[in-house]
Amino acid sequence: MKQLNKGLLIIVFSILSFTSNTLNAQDVTDNRLWLHYFNSVSLSDKWAVDTDAAYMFMLDKPVDRFQIRSGLKRKINKNLSIRIGAGYFYVFGEESSILHEIRPMQDFIGTHLLTSDKSLFIKQRVRFEQQIYSAKLNETEVSDIDFRMRYSIILRKRIEKWIFGVGTEAFINLEDKEESPFFNKNRTIALVNRSVSSHVSLEAQYIREDSFKKGEGSDHYANLLRIAVRHKI
């Protein structure tokens, strides 16, 4: 078990080191405020319905984004859960540019305890997404379907009512597109969470989101501040 825990820690810090060493983005201002509400309704010891809704303010762009997503989660064992659901995303602002997206998802969620008191742990998630677009761009109607995988790993430390975390999330292109890189986006994440009660916690995250072009590395990044409420019923 100690060797497994050490291996997981090495994976986390190796990914973070790789991320910091490969980011060479252009200095483009793109600041965003992300207000997020997460809700989990327990149906039984094994089943739950997870729902989230969010509004993202694109502070340096003339558009904003609204999203809502829900999924049915099944607990397989103490370390693994699976979740199947779908989300709706709406990007709007300029009259000539509007995007609707339906996004089915399939999640595999893992939790790994690194200490006997459960205060240090790693949370991982593998998410498969199918992005079904319908957009109006400068009076032109377009539609498309993209397939991708997202992998996130976050190391968390619990100190009484507080949780501190650091991690990363990679966005992996699953389509054979010559112009798209295998890794087309990456998020580097730092977070702090404070329990308000047994059912509610507040969380703040800083996220650096890098977008990549094939053969060019990171060509753009955004700074995100996410303020979240996490609610369990």
Q: What is the mean pLDDT of residues 157-184?
A: 90
The proportion of the chain whose per-residue pLDDT surpasses 70, expressed as a percent, equals: 85
Work out the pLDDT band at 212, boundaries 50, 70, 90: confident
- The DSSP result for the chain, as a single string, is -HHHHHHHHHHHHHHHHHHHHH--------EEEEEEEEEEEE-SSSEEEEEEEEEEEETTSS-EEEEEEEEEEEE-SSSEEEEEEEEEEEEESSTTEEEEEEEEEEEEEEEEE-STTS-EEEEEEEEEEEEEEEEEETTEEEEEEEEEEEEEEEEEEEETTEEEEEEEEEEEE-S--TTS-SEEEEEEEEEEEEESSSSEEEEEEEEEEEEEETTTEEEEEEEEEEEEEEEE-
Q: What is the mean pLDDT of residues 192-220?
A: 90
Q: What is the mean pLDDT of residues 76-91?
A: 97
* pLDDT at residue 220, as a whole number: 87
Work out the pLDDT band at 62, boundaries 50, 70, 90: confident
* pLDDT at residue 97, as a whole number: 76
Segment among 13-27, 139-153, 162-176 with least mean pLDDT: 13-27
**What pLDDT digit, counting tens, does each position of 5-43 carry?**
555 454 455 545 544 444 454 556 799 999 999 999 999
- pLDDT value at 140 more than 60: yes
Q: What is the mean pLDDT of residues 45-56?
A: 98
Domains of the chain, earliest start first: 2-232 (2.40.160.40)
Work out the pLDDT band at 112, boundaries 50, 70, 90: very high
pLDDT, averaged across the chain: 88
Pick 23 or 176 by higher pLDDT. Answer: 176
